[in-house]
Structure 1
């Protein structure tokens, strides 16, 4: 769906958009507050709320009764009794920049009619990323506890809240009002969250995406015994209904809450003054965030003086005297605790940063990629550094910057990339040289299949969801069977399913029994009959991804045909010099043929005057070359002698017809063709494949249709799909003759956008590409 800018909306369009936003935000509120399973990030949710508010600001007479600007949270869940809050639990408006924080201070001054030189004090508190709760005390005794709910009516979770050690059942000291609703946040410490997820994953149980979801899910358990087993904590920082005043300022109130037995956020909360104080404390909290043992997603600014708070009052669903300054949604600071090396199935060594947990874009991040040794050197990142990580959508988090001002003193030593594989064999690492003679940044283990790490990675790829997708054979089981020596190559998986002796031995082990063994065998047997595309992809050949596997499966009817073509191509592989020439910018297939033909004839010693440039000489030798091609060749070959020698060697190393036929398959190309040919040129690969094929019934892939509404079109799916999975949508589109791409470009014909669609939808709108909903897509392909 194309979003019309707010400034361009007609009144009719605005009314329709407000109705849609109300429905969408109500659904997201339900998923976030009740189901503890949000489908969009906080940033995407905030963007929807902001669009709603911008439209209402332009068309105030169109504000609806169910406007998201008038509501907080979501209705309570049916399994809990209702609790009406004595004072509504309102949410805060958000600020995302220094300018918005400064404007907040200016609005306070305008409302209170204060001059620029008068001081306004604020309490700045960390914005805890947890679940809001309200605790009612009568005569100092806890009588009821509730969630926020929709802001007016919450859920009675008193028994669950009583299990949290930070919540006093009876207030300490004296001076508390006869009746008071203490407000605060239920949260979990980062280390406890990571430990719970690790234990749950090992036991095959549910894990949580971030600490907030964990805290919410743990508190809203029907059985409070489960809540009691969870490491929940509570910060007290506000109040609702109160029978008597007990403080003159927010800062004094925090001290009073602490005296009554609550854990508060002071410190690190701090009292600051004026707009500059707001900016300074935000920067301080940004630096402090990596060192905290709980998750925060911003800073809350509150006018400190409670009399001024009363004068300022409320607007819509938010207090006028407070605002939440949020951290950037996709970036965060944290501490680099270690650098580990991962060995991929092709031997590529990837350094992985092990991080102190931090939530970025709604997901708790503990690892980030460092790409390669050159990237580590470029960043000069060291263990113990405070680093800035970035996460965008589904992209793997990466370190983008080192906070040098926060580097420990004395500084930790610079990281030295090892020269040997971390596998038990300690095989030497090597850099590859590409076609142009340049060393690759990637270091690879030279042990190939002798390296146990590579062999395990090959097997993991083989059983992965997009390859053979064998149910019941996860990483843990696969590693155990590999260590046992039962599974060393793909064919062993299928042999295991019919090995009575091994299966009998398996039934006697912890974690296994008749049912689990039967399920494992069933999962393996279900994949004996399998599509050709999954077989190709499952082999894990370099440069042969899922899309190329599908292309090959559609071109070749049988696996035997594919293997025969690859083996034939391997007898005529191009030389490195030929590949170097073919990769020069501007040198397409026709230009390459011209150059090779000239090279076959032989170029004699320089026949032109020395005064002429190399580019002019190349133009004389191959007159049909384009100017960009001549310029690229001149840059690659600095002298006439180097150019002439390259042409002669390329002509002698030109690929054979079988290789050219394979590379010419639409969607394959020379890189994939070379990888395919090299794979089948190796005897041990052919033996491994033959053993596997013997175990399988490989099915030809159905040819895509050419007479559908989407045949030949390039489609991108983005956002949350609600009626089918992303894999189902892709398979459906490809079966109808469409090409499914992962990113939006000028070549995209159609974008199918579900709830939460972000940057891809924005790009499609900017490029004027047709956008439709999931329902529109289903209706179109059904017709």
Structure 2
């Protein structure tokens, strides 16, 4: 986590912008797509960092701050309905001190004495999907998901299939003589651990979607367009509060929840009223000890101020009530045996070690695989097959090893591979780790089976060769048929025309259109072709910069051979920094450093890559790279683009500048003539202002481009 004290205003604004975007992305994945990419702990860390920066720079708080957002805007085909009262989120506490401060804040806000009693309710925080049930005259008329807190999805018919949800409230007696006009009950839809296991077993048998955890299974089951699918997947419901109500049945949180139970809705049996902070923490630990044995997942304990008149006085801040907080559980741990260490080869060539464990239950989930991250982490932990390890599960991502209990035992150390492992689908090429990096990567590139699909997909992508009609599905089909294994094979697909015509999804016209799209790329732009090869560190801009100086692909290959010779001729004892400086100077291209030179040398060091390169150039003939320029108002000027460009990519903007005879630089200096600033521009904009450099908007830049024709 970044220390706010080390940030300037511009740095803080830039980091807050990035955090807002990242949190919004993970909110969408969690709440809307039911497919989280990071653990709850990692998400909480992002929120904590955002809060720390906002506290240090209150004048930079953004309108789209994570603290102003609840959940994510619904995007499914379900009907969208506005909540009568906004469904709020909860602030989090992670230790006893956080909860002590929560109680102290309540006393300060209400102007109570420091030792004044503050009664709370404490109940498990169910790990499910928030849902609101609206009853009118005692009848269930609508059920909504939380959505973004303001608008939710209508899941009424789906909720009616949940046995825990009564369609008619029980009233009468001292509770309500007659059904209230409106009583909106809010709670959590969940799936039990046993129901989750049964569902996944059925899904595997039917070759359907296998869910990552009970929360995702519950969300996916509730948000079905067909309520019959929901009916087949047993869901439960626990009430934890209320929204829009015409009359309250009690004056305290605990009594109100007791009344909701009397109405026919389930409330957790672990809900308790506690009279002090000490009692609250004691109940938290009681629930934590029972956690593994509960039939459903929980991830903490929720405390709420018991007196409803105090809740009303305390009110809300941004997205959360002042009168409630979630006390999150720490990551769960268990002991087991590390049986083996396998090396997986990613699509970009990264070698990732994965530990195979004797299966162990951690937080109600059976864990058999664990990430070991990289060679340095293996060395730090000293893990070897046969070691007894402590495994931690923080949320729903793959767990990690946090301690090696048998590190002192005499046993041969694990040797990280120096070549791409064939037993893992690799190619046997050398695996290298660049200076200052932790990951080893396969240098096989074009010929590595583990990387093949992704590299071919990249080769035909819009920014590279842009072959129309050759998408991911087609690439996978041709790979499975054995028709393509490397880029050159794409240009030999014409030999399979007769076989392709008549295959499912292929007719004569679509086949001929594809082959024609391939043929027109036989004289491709050299920079696009170089970028399309997927050589590490060579993006679209770097490829253009190299071709501007070296003109042809043969010239780029010659450069790689010269760098190989420089590396071999380096005097013994020469520092890496000195060697890198010599390589960067030899390349002689501004903003292209030694990392690019090493990547080129590593690529051509592998005979497999040389063969694939030569095979490709036997099929295509890219002309020498020429930068065609148009006289314009910015010809000869140095331009810097900063902030988020909304109508074009940064690469497209730089290409426009080059076409107009300008130079696109990456940083602002006294030599800069013009800065084009989009939303979120930070330190570069501030520096430009300090230097008196002209700053224009993206719209003004577009006018310059249009004027140049």
The TM-score range, normalised by the shorter chain, is: 0.5 to 0.7
1:287-436 counterparts in 2 under 5 A?
Answer: 300-303=302-305, 305=306, 308-315=307-314, 317=316, 322-325=323-326, 341-344=343-346, 348-351=350-353, 370-379=372-381, 385-387=390-392, 416=414, 421=421, 423=423
1:494 to 491, 496, 502: 491
Alignment partners' CA distance in 2, 1:166 and 1:771 = 67
Alignment partners' CA distance in 1, 2:79 and 2:125 = 30
Q: Give the CA deviation at 1:503.
A: 1.1
Q: Give the CA deviation at 1:188.
A: 7.3
Q: Which residue of structure 2 aligns with residue 236 of structure 1?
A: 239
Distance 1:142 1:588, change over 3 A: closer
SS of alignment partner, residue 566 of structure 2: coil
Is the Cα–Cα contact under 8 Å of residues 334 and 386 in structure 1 kept in the other structure? Answer: yes
Distance 1:332 1:780, change over 3 A: farther
CA deviations over 1:235-287 (Å, ceiling 9, x no partner)? 421134567766786456656656766555555x6665534566677799999
Distance 1:702 1:293, change over 3 A: farther
Alignment partners' CA distance in 2, 1:84 and 1:575 = 66
Alignment partners' CA distance in 1, 2:127 and 2:314 = 23
Q: Give the CA deviation at 1:734.
A: 6.6
1:524-535 counterparts in 2 under 5 A?
Answer: 524=518, 527-528=521-522, 530-535=524-529
Distance 1:726 1:167, change over 3 A: farther
Structure 1 residue 462 corresponds to structure 2 residue 459: yes
Q: Give the CA deviation at 1:302.
A: 0.5
CA deviations over 1:455-512 (Å, ceiling 9, x no partner)? 55654553456544556655565455334321122111222155313313xx434x66
Distance 1:320 1:44, change over 3 A: closer
Q: Which residue of structure 1 aligns with residue 481 of structure 2?
A: 484
Distance 1:223 1:489, change over 3 A: same
Alignment partners' CA distance in 2, 1:666 and 1:154 = 52
Is the Cα–Cα contact under 8 Å of residues 427 and 447 in structure 1 kept in the other structure? Answer: yes
SS of alignment partner, residue 238 of structure 1: strand
Distance 1:444 1:668, change over 3 A: closer
Alignment partners' CA distance in 2, 1:724 and 1:287 = 54
Alignment partners' CA distance in 2, 1:474 and 1:89 = 43
Alignment partners' CA distance in 2, 1:82 and 1:682 = 59
Distance 1:771 1:244, change over 3 A: farther
Distance 1:320 1:686, change over 3 A: closer
Alignment partners' CA distance in 1, 2:652 and 2:493 = 30
Q: Which residue of structure 1 aligns with residue 125 of structure 2?
A: 126
Gaps in structure 2 of 5+ consecutive residues: 35-42, 360-367, 705-709
Is the Cα–Cα contact under 8 Å of residues 71 and 317 in structure 1 kept in the other structure? Answer: no
Q: Give the CA deviation at 1:108.
A: 3.5
Distance 1:465 1:417, change over 3 A: farther
Alignment partners' CA distance in 1, 2:232 and 2:48 = 33
Is the Cα–Cα contact under 8 Å of residues 487 and 493 in structure 1 kept in the other structure? Answer: yes
Is the Cα–Cα contact under 8 Å of residues 535 and 599 in structure 2 kept in the other structure? Answer: yes
Is the Cα–Cα contact under 8 Å of residues 528 and 543 in structure 2 kept in the other structure? Answer: yes
Q: TM-score, normalised by structure 2?
A: 0.63
CA RMSD of aligned residues (A): 6.8
1:727-742 counterparts in 2 under 5 A?
Answer: 728=652, 737-740=663-666
Alignment partners' CA distance in 2, 1:348 and 1:73 = 34
Structure 1 residue 777 corresponds to structure 2 residue 695: no
SS of alignment partner, residue 663 of structure 2: coil
Distance 1:339 1:694, change over 3 A: same
SS of alignment partner, residue 313 of structure 1: helix
Q: Which residue of structure 2 aligns with residue 689 of structure 1?
A: 613
Q: TM-score, normalised by structure 1?
A: 0.58
Distance 1:745 1:515, change over 3 A: farther
Is the Cα–Cα contact under 8 Å of residues 28 and 73 in structure 2 kept in the other structure? Answer: no
Q: Give the CA deviation at 1:378.
A: 1.5
1:6-405 counterparts in 2 under 5 A?
Answer: 85=84, 88-89=85-86, 91=88, 94=91, 101-109=99-107, 111=110, 113=112, 116=115, 118=117, 120-126=119-125, 128=127, 130-136=129-135, 138-139=137-138, 141-146=139-144, 157-164=155-162, 166-170=164-168, 177=176, 178-179=179-180, 180-186=183-189, 234-240=237-243, 250-251=253-254, 262=265, 264=267, 274-275=276-277, 300-303=302-305, 305=306, 308-315=307-314, 317=316, 322-325=323-326, 341-344=343-346, 348-351=350-353, 370-379=372-381, 385-387=390-392
Gaps in structure 1 of 5+ consecutive residues: 10-16, 58-63, 357-365, 392-396, 593-658
Alignment partners' CA distance in 1, 2:451 and 2:310 = 68
SS of alignment partner, residue 169 of structure 1: coil
Structure 1 residue 574 corresponds to structure 2 residue 566: yes
Q: Which residue of structure 2 aligns with residue 555 of structure 1?
A: 549
Q: Give the CA deviation at 1:534.
A: 2.3
Is the Cα–Cα contact under 8 Å of residues 431 and 442 in structure 2 kept in the other structure? Answer: no
Distance 1:371 1:734, change over 3 A: farther
1:536 to 524, 530, 533: 530
Is the Cα–Cα contact under 8 Å of residues 676 and 696 in structure 2 kept in the other structure? Answer: no
Q: Which residue of structure 1 aligns with residue 627 of structure 2?
A: 702
Distance 1:448 1:698, change over 3 A: closer
Q: Number of paired residues?
A: 637
Is the Cα–Cα contact under 8 Å of residues 107 and 116 in structure 2 kept in the other structure? Answer: no
CA deviations over 1:138-170 (Å, ceiling 9, x no partner)? 44x423334568979977653343345553335
User: Which structure has the greater CA radius of gyration?
Assistant: 1
Q: Give the CA deviation at 1:450.
A: 7.3
Q: Which residue of structure 2 aligns with residue 508 of structure 1?
A: 503
Q: Give the CA deviation at 1:578.
A: 0.7
Alignment partners' CA distance in 2, 1:778 and 1:264 = 56
Alignment partners' CA distance in 1, 2:32 and 2:678 = 23
Distance 1:53 1:661, change over 3 A: closer
Alignment partners' CA distance in 2, 1:68 and 1:348 = 33
Distance 1:281 1:109, change over 3 A: same
Alignment partners' CA distance in 1, 2:327 and 2:635 = 45
SS of alignment partner, residue 552 of structure 1: helix
Distance 1:300 1:431, change over 3 A: same
Is the Cα–Cα contact under 8 Å of residues 120 and 273 in structure 2 kept in the other structure? Answer: yes
Alignment partners' CA distance in 1, 2:415 and 2:398 = 18
Alignment partners' CA distance in 2, 1:68 and 1:540 = 35
Structure 1 residue 663 corresponds to structure 2 residue 587: yes
SS of alignment partner, residue 143 of structure 2: strand
Is the Cα–Cα contact under 8 Å of residues 640 and 675 in structure 2 kept in the other structure? Answer: yes
Is the Cα–Cα contact under 8 Å of residues 465 and 528 in structure 2 kept in the other structure? Answer: yes
SS of alignment partner, residue 574 of structure 1: helix
Q: Give the CA deviation at 1:126.
A: 1.6
SS of alignment partner, residue 142 of structure 1: strand
Is the Cα–Cα contact under 8 Å of residues 134 and 147 in structure 1 kept in the other structure? Answer: no
Q: Give the CA deviation at 1:385.
A: 4.8
Is the Cα–Cα contact under 8 Å of residues 443 and 603 in structure 2 kept in the other structure? Answer: no
SS of alignment partner, residue 499 of structure 1: helix
Distance 1:227 1:691, change over 3 A: same
1:611-622 counterparts in 2 under 5 A?
Answer: none
Distance 1:747 1:279, change over 3 A: farther
Is the Cα–Cα contact under 8 Å of residues 386 and 402 in structure 1 kept in the other structure? Answer: yes
SS of alignment partner, residue 543 of structure 2: helix
Q: Give the CA deviation at 1:105.
A: 1.1
Is the Cα–Cα contact under 8 Å of residues 130 and 185 in structure 1 kept in the other structure? Answer: yes
